[in-house]
Structure 1
């Protein structure tokens, strides 16, 4: 069964297909949760998580893409990108990708947005 995540932002519902890795498993154990995401560097929104998920033996990348969900261990941050970013020397875990058009919603949002995260089984 595929793992997926429902994101509710400004009363809009989005679905993300999640990758199969330990960080995702740990994130799913924290759900449901509500976060206040802060806009950062004109390409993403982020929020610290209540607990640090494991990144042990999970692939990392410096290439982050619009519509992608990522985890940055340095800030224990869940991030949603609305524009592509090459973030070297930093690295993140790619958690998955949003299936719907979340990019325009986030690009038009203000300094912060509330998001509700819920696990879905599809």
Structure 2
């Protein structure tokens, strides 16, 4: 499944995986979020509801461009730097192409929708 992220006027495309968490995520779209910096590694936003983690691994090692769900906090996390293995992190998908806009300092407005 392909989605489109519009972040501060920049359009990015992403491909999602097939999982219970992704199905819950898709049911929330379209979604407007305020992305904030976290640990100079990722942009995060609180989700309006928790996503299912049924069948998900205990954690993962995120790469640049990964779109993830951090189950312990219930937030979306989009990585613009790599990170070590993180328990509770569930991969939702990956941004296809340039993620430079995510490296912009400060909060960003984002709209996420199914690509059409």
- TM-score interval (norm. to shorter): over 0.9
Select which of 101, 111, 117 maps to 2:106: 111
Structure 1 portions without partners, runs of 5+: none
Structure 2 counterpart SS, 1:75: coil
Select which of 4, 12, 35 maps to 2:2: 4
Change in CA separation of 1:39 and 1:87 when aligned onto 2, cut-off 3 Å? farther
> TM-score scaled to structure 1, two decimals?
0.89
Select which of 66, 75, 94 maps to 2:64: 66
- Aligned pair count? 116
Structure 2 portions without partners, runs of 5+: none
Once the two structures are superposed, residues 57-86 of structure 1 have per-residue CA deviations (whole angstroms, 9 ceiling, x without a partner) of 122433011101000011111111000001
> TM-score scaled to structure 2, two decimals?
0.94
RMSD: 1.2
